[in-house]
């Protein structure tokens, strides 16, 4: 496969692994972009690929105002959403949603809760709440397998404020209650 075709496929996927390794010039607009740019996808025949932003500019292309390819990676608008999603993920993993709401988390990050949900879903494929639930359930699973703590203690240590919610979510994801899960795991030892 020709290298330009590989670049175009990476651009279609918005593959961050290629960010900074090449730049795309669109001949119909005379604009060049980064592979992660969220602008409308140009036709393959209108794309030219360059190893650096300087080469693209020297060929007469101007930088995209959306992905800002002339800036150091991390300082363009497309990078901010990724940074915010990762920051939210780290805070959630540290328990930010154990005692607070998504609205409070989004205020802490300086964005609206709607924007937080949108960028979180785009990056991780789930809402912040669902991510927090799965994170708590994975910890609960470890505690059920590796400790003799009571089910109530496991729920509280995993970040659940309600035993009822813990049992309901556990059953929804594992198709059995926590006691059944523990018994089944112990019988496999």
Domain segments of the chain: what residues? 3-63, 77-124, 130-187
pLDDT in tens, 24-45: 999 999 999 999 888 899 999 9
pLDDT in tens, 75-133: 566 677 778 898 999 999 998 998 899 999 999 999 999 999 998 998 888 999 999 99
3-63 shares its CATH topology with 130-187: no
DSSP-based three-state secondary structure for 69: coil
Asked: is 130-187 a CATH 1.10.10.60 domain? The reply is yes
Q: Are 135 and 92 in contact (CB under 8 A)?
A: yes
Q: What is the pTM of this model?
A: 0.62
CATH class of the domain defined by 3-63: alpha beta
Which residues have C-beta within 8 Å of that of residue 152, sequence separation ≥ 6? 163
How many H helices and E strands in the chain? 9, 4
């Amino acid at each position: 496969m020709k290298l330009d075709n590989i670049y175009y496929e990476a651009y279609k996927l918005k593959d961050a692994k290629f960010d900074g390794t090449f730049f795309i010039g669109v001949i119909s607009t005379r604009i060049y972009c980064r592979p992660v740019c969220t602008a409308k996808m140009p036709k393959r025949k209108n794309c030219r690929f360059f190893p650096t932003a300087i080469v693209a500019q020297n060929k007469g292309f101007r930088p995209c105002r959306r992905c800002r390819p002339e800036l150091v990676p991390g300082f363009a608008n497309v990078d901010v959403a990724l940074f915010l999603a990762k920051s939210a993920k780290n805070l959630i993993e540290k328990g930010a949603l154990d005692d607070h709401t998504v609205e409070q988390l989004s205020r802490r990050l300086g964005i609206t809760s709607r924007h937080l949900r949108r960028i979180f879903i785009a990056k991780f494929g789930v809402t912040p709440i669902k991510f927090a639930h799965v994170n708590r359930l994975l910890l609960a699973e470890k505690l059920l397998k590796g400790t003799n703590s009571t089910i109530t203690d496991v729920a509280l240590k995993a970040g659940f404020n309600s035993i009822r919610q813990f049992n309901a979510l556990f059953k929804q994801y594992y198709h059995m209650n926590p006691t059944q899960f523990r018994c089944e795991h112990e019988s496999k030892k």
